[in-house]
Amino acid sequence: QEQLVESGGDSVQAGGSLRLSCTASGTAFNYPAMAWFRQAPGKEREGVASIHRGADYTYYADSVKGRFTISRDSAKNTVYLQMNNLKPEDTALYYCAAGRRFLLMGPLLPTDFPYWGQGTQVTVSS
């Protein structure tokens, strides 16, 4: 059974860094796309970054491009999201998701990702 477990969320000050991890069990890690989404209170879920199964293609939302980096370690069945130069507007619950297709063009659609983790909270203070 597919299961995704996120970790690494924390409270940091603006300008700081965090690295989120998502460990997958079952066959989820072998899906064509792994992605990170986030959702702030009162806002829609936003696709932040995705990575192809072969790790040769990535996609980033404009809001995080140049600051966030998605990567994957096949030996550990883990996907990472390195977040640098964090801003208060990055505050959200971050979710890991596994999807059946990878697209180079966004936006990422939650409906393309059938498997989700429970989320990890990131809070950035000014």
Longest dimension (CA), the chain: 40
Instruction: Give the pair of three-digit tokens for residue 25.
Output: 């069990």
Per-residue pLDDT for 106 more than 90?
Answer: no
123: confidence class by pLDDT, cuts 50, 70, 90: very high
Per-residue pLDDT for 1 more than 80?
Answer: no
pLDDT score recorded for residue 72: 95
Please give the Cα distance from 74 to 29 (Å, whole number): 8
pLDDT score recorded for residue 29: 83
Please give the Cα distance from 66 to 52 (Å, whole number): 19
pLDDT score recorded for residue 126: 95
pLDDT per residue as tens digits for the range 50-101: 999 887 899 999 999 999 999 999 999 999 999 999 999 999 999 999 999 8
Give the position of tokens 């505050």: 91
Query: HSE-up of 116 (CA within 13 Å, CB side)?
Result: 16
